[in-house]
Amino acid sequence: MKLNKVLAMLAVTGMCSVGNAAFAEMMEPTCGASTGKAATGEAIKVGGIHGNAAPGDFSSSTDAAKAYFDCVNANGGIHGRPVDYMVENDQWNPELASQAASKLVVDKAVVAMVGNGSFIEMSVNAPFYKEQNIMAMAAACAVSECFESSNLVSTNQGPLASSVGAAQYAEEELGSKNIACIGLAIPTVGPWSCNEVTRFMEARGKTGSTVLLNPGAPDVNSGLLEAIASGADTIMVNLPAGLGVAMLAVAQEQDLGDAYKWIASTPLYDASVPGALGEYWDGKLFINAELVPFSRDGADNTNWLALMDKYAAKDDPRDTFSQAGYLSARYFTETLMAMDAKDIDDRAKVTTAIKAISGYTSDMTCGPFYVGEADRHMPNHAGVMVVVKDGGFKEVRDCYEYDSPYFAELIETEKKLGLR
Amino acid sequence: MRKTIFSAVLYIIAMAIILGTLTYGRPSAVVGLFLVSGLAVGSLYALGGIGLVVLYRATGILNFANGAVGAFGVMLAWQLGQWGVYAPLTWLAALLAAVLLALGYGRFVAPHLAWRPPVIKAVATLGFALVVLGITGFIWEDDIRSFSLPTDKSAIRVLGLRVTITRLIVIAAALGIVVAIYVFLGRTRIGLQMRALANNRNLSALMGVKIVRVETIAWGISGLISGFTGLMFGDLVRLEPQIITFLVIPSIAAAVCARLDNLMLVLVSGLSIGVIESLLTLSPMLKQVRPTAPFVIAAIILVWHQRNSKINISGDD
């Protein structure tokens, strides 16, 4: 169903003429060694954890990683061997998240974690991954621990970078002087990302404030009123899509669409959002996309859709987390293929190889992917801005790098790695 | 009577102190916005609470499944709307589905628990809520959806806040249901039998009250209110079955404040909880505890009620 929505969006946005997806349907996906022969021999064990239970489903990242590994297994594998990709669901439960990591890392002895997507898993397991000297190449991260840990790296941006990106666009292009960022009242999510928006604005001589909303709060109206009371001229919706749509519905009820500038972080860049919002928000809501639009031409974007068509279930979402899951699996596969065949079952050597990643590129992201030996990893800190338009999205700003004090340390690392 | 007046005066003083403290030093325009916003949310709590108390007074069952039944109804209405069905028919379908679900439980499950303690009856409805929520989640997987009514497009301004006709309908419906249920329970034969049944099931049966018939009607009315509440929650809160299902919790707080008995008090409690919760947002220190407000208020009211008597979920004093 979601694929249909994506395809419909492609048609509406007109961003891609005949359409990347239509082309993807015809092409044969490529992956790994691309030999066309099934891999044989002992499997390489790889793990993945996602969160899937009400009220959210982050499984599209591991769905895409699984599709990629299935493709690799059908195309010569890694050094001729197949990947045994084992996925667990933390169901947003810290205890289950811990058990899942223990099962995969200790009992199954996986060499790495790939495609992880959760609100919970990274917060719980970041110290465990460090202790076990295993790398998690995540794809759907939303908490600070995912970006501020030594053994976690993600292909997606998370709320901090995406929020700063949206704020930067608003400040530079919409003339915003005071941004109220409405985020989730989870310390490692809402305050972490929204406070950085304020720091960004203050660094540019402007002001910002944070409004926190309880995830289960029925009354989003008071959050909106608090944002208004702050004196903001721009309101940022930095919330999961469902809650974000509810917030915008309340703003529509108050007819505030033209009274303020409206911006949002990535969660609202979802094919279902324009339909749920309706015509009222047409041309009014600007959203930061942490990976390039689904419909854009490019080798990886096209290959991702073709690969999903061939190896994933029909109803597996083709969304941002799916793109990021594909990328994590691709980078992991290429890293292992570059290793000596006899070392790929040695977790310590795999961890060293992943940490040595420097400068993988893709048309899906605006910058290079790297890891490095550091306590902070956020390689993806450049993105694209879109606006809700004609029942879909229209790109309003191509790849741009985010500029905030938070990224200074990352930029130094990139300089040392010769990526700048 | 003296006790009632004393309680009313105490309530007014307590609310004045709370509101005065929370709004001290704030511009009246800002306070007005939060006040009206709180009333709007409070009316939702009141509506949910009224649905609970109506069934409780008629059958002695505290029905935790009201929210889940309403959520199923509004999801069905949304689905039919997606298929292009004429909007009023989708609303009717939501109400009908909620009535059928409530009747199904009331007719085929509840009678088997008739002689069990009230707590077990209440917990059984929680089980029913989880079953309905599970089925709803199975049919409609997690996705971004919205449900709107034509009345969302028209509004009036109250103290600077735009209040849609849908929100006014909720407030009017809460008042209307209170009045209608008062009349129904107080002036009709079935209403009398419901009260008798809730008061003493054994005696009522001995006196010839047709228990199954009376309870079936009560469950039907409860389902109808749940269906209506679900449509309103789906429109005004958000179209997420989980959220709608568990909105029954703050609604229970409103019902408990009214000792699961007095419908007018449910209305006042729901509105008061909504207003206090909204105004807590103005306090930098207390805004983090907003979600707990309904339960803290309910706990305080329970303790106040208990000063002279006992109260528990069975309603035994």
Distance from C-alpha of A277 to C-alpha of A279, rounded to nearest angstrom:
7
Beta bridge partners of A52: A57
Q: Model confidence at A2, in pLDDT bands (50, 70, 90)?
A: very low
* A interface residues, B as partner, C-beta within 8 Å: 2, 54-57, 185, 212, 214, 216-223, 225-226, 228-229, 241-243, 245-246, 249, 253-255, 270, 272-273, 276-278
Picking from B139, B144, B243 by the largest number of A CB atoms within 10 A of its own CB, the best residue to mutate is B144
- Which residues of chain A neighbour B274 with C-beta distances below 8 Å? 219
Distance from C-alpha of B263 to C-alpha of B119, rounded to nearest angstrom:
21
How far from chain centre, in Å, is Cα A55?
18
- Which residues of chain B neighbour A218 with C-beta distances below 8 Å? 41, 44, 233, 237, 243, 247, 250
Cβ contact B34–A249 (<8 Å): no
* B interface residues, A as partner, C-beta within 8 Å: 30, 33-34, 37-38, 40-41, 44, 137, 141-146, 148, 152, 155, 161-162, 164, 233, 237-238, 240-243, 246-247, 250, 274, 277-278, 281-282, 287-288, 290-291
- Which residues of chain B neighbour A219 with C-beta distances below 8 Å? 37, 41, 274, 277-278
Per-residue pLDDT at A8: 41
Picking from A63, A225, A248, A269 by the largest number of B CB atoms within 10 A of its own CB, the best residue to mutate is A225
Q: Model confidence at A62, in pLDDT bands (50, 70, 90)?
A: very high
pLDDT exceeds cutoff 60 at A19: no
Cβ contact B143–A214 (<8 Å): no
Please give the average per-residue pLDDT across B41-49, as a whole number.
88
- Which residues of chain B neighbour A245 with C-beta distances below 8 Å? 144, 146, 238
8 A C-beta contact, residue A4 and residue A321: no
In tens, the pLDDT along A357-385 reads 998 999 999 999 999 888 999 999 999 99
Per-residue pLDDT at B285: 80
**B181: closest CA of chain A, how far (Å):** 27
8 A C-beta contact, residue A90 and residue A51: yes
Please give the average per-residue pLDDT across B35-48, as a whole number.
86
Nearest to A245 among B34, B144, B242 (CB): B144
Please give the average per-residue pLDDT across B219-245, as a whole number.
91
In tens, the pLDDT along A180-207 reads 999 988 888 999 999 999 999 999 999 9
Distance from C-alpha of A296 to C-alpha of A289, rounded to nearest angstrom:
12
Per-residue pLDDT at A266: 92
- Which residues of chain A neighbour B129 with C-beta distances below 8 Å? none
> Which run of H or E residues covers position A288?
strand A285-289
* Contact residues for B91 (Cβ-Cβ < 8 A; gap 6+): B77, B231
Q: Which residue has the higher pLDDT, A399 or B197?
A: A399
Nearest to A241 among B144, B152, B281 (CB): B144
Q: Model confidence at B262, in pLDDT bands (50, 70, 90)?
A: confident
**φ, ψ of residue A397 in degrees (nearest 5):** -150, 125
8 A C-beta contact, residue B63 and residue B221: no
User: Chain B residue with minimal CA distance to A53?
Assistant: B142
Per-residue pLDDT at B4: 79
| Residue A163, helix vs strand vs coil | helix
Comparing A149-153, A276-280, B286-290, which segment has the lowest mean pLDDT?
B286-290
pLDDT exceeds cutoff 50 at B160: yes
Cβ contact B137–A54 (<8 Å): yes
Supply the angle between the helices A121-131 and A94-102 in degrees, to the nearest 10: 30
Beta bridge partners of A83: A44
Picking from A219, A247, A266 by the largest number of B CB atoms within 10 A of its own CB, the best residue to mutate is A219
Q: Tokens at residue B58, please?
A: 């008629």
pLDDT exceeds cutoff 70 at A25: no
Cβ contact A225–B141 (<8 Å): no
- Which residues of chain B neighbour A226 with C-beta distances below 8 Å? 281, 287
Comparing A43-47, B126-130, B207-211, B230-234, which segment has the lowest mean pLDDT?
B207-211
pLDDT exceeds cutoff 80 at B310: no
The type of residue at A194 is: C
Nearest to A219 among B164, B246, B277 (CB): B277
Picking from B47, B143, B169 by the largest number of A CB atoms within 10 A of its own CB, the best residue to mutate is B143
Q: Tokens at residue A411, please?
A: 């930029």
Per-residue pLDDT at B246: 87
Comparing A2-16, A128-142, A180-194, B172-186, which segment has the lowest mean pLDDT?
A2-16
**B237: closest CA of chain A, how far (Å):** 6
- Mean pLDDT taken over chain B: 87
8 A C-beta contact, residue A221 and residue A198: no
Comparing A122-136, A275-289, A319-333, B178-192, which segment has the lowest mean pLDDT?
B178-192
DSSP conformation letters of A188-243: TTHHHHHHHHHHHHHHTT-EEEEEEE-TT-S--HHHHHHHHHTT-SEEEEES-HHH
In tens, the pLDDT along B61-104 reads 899 999 999 999 999 999 999 999 999 999 999 999 999 999 99
In tens, the pLDDT along A249-283 reads 989 988 899 999 999 999 899 888 999 999 999 99
In tens, the pLDDT along B17-33 reads 988 888 888 888 778 87
Per-residue pLDDT at B314: 55
Per-residue pLDDT at A18: 42
Q: Is the peptide bond before A55 cis (omega within 30 degrees of 0)?
A: yes
**A303: closest CA of chain B, how far (Å):** 26
8 A C-beta contact, residue B226 and residue B70: yes
**B257: closest CA of chain A, how far (Å):** 20
pLDDT exceeds cutoff 90 at B305: no
Q: Model confidence at A166, in pLDDT bands (50, 70, 90)?
A: very high
In tens, the pLDDT along A324-352 reads 999 999 999 999 999 999 999 999 999 99
Cβ contact A225–B37 (<8 Å): yes
Cβ contact A217–B290 (<8 Å): yes
Q: Model confidence at A17, in pLDDT bands (50, 70, 90)?
A: very low
- What percent of chain B lies above the pLDDT cut of 90? 33
Q: Model confidence at B308, in pLDDT bands (50, 70, 90)?
A: low
